[in-house]
Amino acid sequence: MYEKEFLVMDTMTAKVMGSGDLPVLATPSLIAAVEETCRDFMKQRLSQEQTSVGVSISCQHLHPTGIGQSFVVKIIEKKFEKRKSEYIFEVADKRTKIAEGTHIRVIVNRQRFMKNLEN
Protein backbone atom coordinates (compact mmCIF):
# COMPACT_ATOMS: atom_id res chain seq x y z
CA MET A 1 0.00 0.00 0.00
CA TYR A 2 1.10 3.54 -0.74
CA GLU A 3 -0.59 6.72 0.44
CA LYS A 4 -0.40 10.46 0.05
CA GLU A 5 -2.12 13.28 1.93
CA PHE A 6 -3.70 16.35 0.34
CA LEU A 7 -5.32 19.55 1.62
CA VAL A 8 -8.45 20.92 -0.07
CA MET A 9 -7.60 24.37 -1.39
CA ASP A 10 -9.99 26.95 -2.91
CA THR A 11 -8.68 26.06 -6.39
CA MET A 12 -9.78 22.43 -5.94
CA THR A 13 -13.49 23.12 -5.40
CA ALA A 14 -16.38 22.19 -7.65
CA LYS A 15 -17.28 25.88 -7.89
CA VAL A 16 -13.83 26.87 -9.20
CA MET A 17 -13.37 23.76 -11.38
CA GLY A 18 -16.78 24.25 -13.00
CA SER A 19 -18.01 20.76 -12.14
CA GLY A 20 -20.58 22.13 -9.69
CA ASP A 21 -21.41 25.29 -7.78
CA LEU A 22 -20.50 24.39 -4.19
CA PRO A 23 -17.26 25.10 -2.30
CA VAL A 24 -16.40 21.40 -1.80
CA LEU A 25 -13.70 19.11 -3.21
CA ALA A 26 -14.44 18.67 -6.92
CA THR A 27 -14.44 15.20 -8.40
CA PRO A 28 -11.87 16.28 -11.06
CA SER A 29 -9.56 17.45 -8.25
CA LEU A 30 -10.05 14.19 -6.37
CA ILE A 31 -9.21 12.22 -9.52
CA ALA A 32 -6.09 14.35 -10.07
CA ALA A 33 -4.98 13.49 -6.51
CA VAL A 34 -5.48 9.77 -7.20
CA GLU A 35 -3.49 10.04 -10.44
CA GLU A 36 -0.70 11.96 -8.69
CA THR A 37 -0.48 9.33 -5.96
CA CYS A 38 -0.26 6.48 -8.48
CA ARG A 39 2.24 8.42 -10.61
CA ASP A 40 4.47 9.02 -7.59
CA PHE A 41 4.31 5.32 -6.67
CA MET A 42 5.29 4.30 -10.22
CA LYS A 43 8.38 6.55 -10.28
CA GLN A 44 10.36 3.80 -8.55
CA ARG A 45 10.34 1.64 -11.69
CA LEU A 46 10.93 4.34 -14.31
CA SER A 47 14.09 5.39 -16.11
CA GLN A 48 14.84 9.07 -16.89
CA GLU A 49 13.39 8.59 -20.39
CA GLN A 50 10.09 7.25 -19.08
CA THR A 51 6.96 8.56 -17.41
CA SER A 52 3.53 7.12 -16.75
CA VAL A 53 0.19 8.28 -18.10
CA GLY A 54 -3.30 7.54 -16.88
CA VAL A 55 -5.43 5.62 -19.37
CA SER A 56 -8.49 4.67 -17.32
CA ILE A 57 -10.19 5.62 -14.08
CA SER A 58 -13.40 4.53 -12.41
CA CYS A 59 -14.38 6.57 -9.37
CA GLN A 60 -17.29 6.76 -7.01
CA HIS A 61 -17.22 10.09 -5.15
CA LEU A 62 -19.21 9.22 -2.04
CA HIS A 63 -18.99 12.12 0.42
CA PRO A 64 -18.22 15.88 0.33
CA THR A 65 -15.02 17.37 1.74
CA GLY A 66 -14.72 21.08 2.51
CA ILE A 67 -12.02 23.69 1.99
CA GLY A 68 -9.24 23.36 4.56
CA GLN A 69 -9.90 19.68 5.21
CA SER A 70 -7.24 17.11 4.49
CA PHE A 71 -7.79 13.78 2.78
CA VAL A 72 -5.61 10.74 2.17
CA VAL A 73 -5.41 8.72 -1.04
CA LYS A 74 -4.47 5.08 -0.40
CA ILE A 75 -3.58 2.85 -3.33
CA ILE A 76 -2.88 -0.83 -3.74
CA GLU A 77 -1.23 -2.05 -6.92
CA LYS A 78 -3.47 -4.90 -8.01
CA LYS A 79 -1.47 -5.93 -11.08
CA PHE A 80 1.67 -4.92 -12.98
CA GLU A 81 2.29 -6.45 -16.37
CA LYS A 82 4.84 -5.24 -18.93
CA ARG A 83 4.13 -1.50 -18.99
CA LYS A 84 0.64 -1.44 -17.44
CA SER A 85 -0.16 -0.99 -13.76
CA GLU A 86 -3.63 -1.43 -12.26
CA TYR A 87 -4.60 0.11 -8.93
CA ILE A 88 -7.43 -0.04 -6.43
CA PHE A 89 -7.82 3.19 -4.47
CA GLU A 90 -9.66 4.51 -1.46
CA VAL A 91 -9.83 8.14 -0.38
CA ALA A 92 -10.81 9.24 3.12
CA ASP A 93 -10.94 12.41 5.15
CA LYS A 94 -10.86 12.45 8.95
CA ARG A 95 -14.56 11.55 9.13
CA THR A 96 -15.25 8.94 6.48
CA LYS A 97 -14.39 7.29 3.18
CA ILE A 98 -15.03 9.88 0.47
CA ALA A 99 -14.20 7.92 -2.69
CA GLU A 100 -13.16 4.56 -4.09
CA GLY A 101 -12.35 3.09 -7.45
CA THR A 102 -9.76 1.78 -9.87
CA HIS A 103 -7.06 3.40 -12.00
CA ILE A 104 -4.79 2.15 -14.79
CA ARG A 105 -1.49 3.75 -15.79
CA VAL A 106 0.90 2.87 -18.62
CA ILE A 107 4.64 3.50 -18.82
CA VAL A 108 5.64 5.48 -21.91
CA ASN A 109 8.81 6.91 -23.41
CA ARG A 110 8.62 10.69 -22.93
CA GLN A 111 10.01 11.66 -26.36
CA ARG A 112 7.97 9.13 -28.35
CA PHE A 113 4.81 10.12 -26.48
CA MET A 114 5.30 13.82 -27.17
CA LYS A 115 6.18 13.07 -30.79
CA ASN A 116 2.61 11.80 -31.18
CA LEU A 117 1.46 15.43 -30.88
CA GLU A 118 3.16 16.28 -34.16
CA ASN A 119 1.04 16.34 -37.33
Identify the CATH number of the domain in which residue 45 sits.
3.10.129.10
Q: Which domain holds residue 47?
A: 2-117
Query: Is 61 among the catalytic positions?
Result: yes
On whether 45 is known to bind a ligand per the annotation, the reply is: no
Cα 14 to Cα 11, 26, 96, 100, 117: the distances in Å are 9, 4, 19, 18, 30
Distance between CA atoms of residues 97 and 106, nearest Å: 27
Q: How many domains does the chain have?
A: 1
Please check whether residue 34 is in contact with residue 89, taking contact to mean a CB–CB distance below 8 angstroms. Answer: yes
Q: List, for residues 4-52, the tens digit of each pLDDT value.
A: 999 999 999 999 999 999 999 999 999 999 999 999 999 999 999 999 9
pLDDT of residue 117: 87
How many Cβ atoms sit within 10 Å of the Cβ of residue 46? 14
pLDDT tier for residue 102 given thresholds of 50, 70 and 90: very high
Predicted TM-score (pTM) of the model is 0.95
Average pLDDT score, the chain? 97
**Known binder of ligand: residue 105?**
yes
CA 44 to chain CA centroid, nearest Å: 17
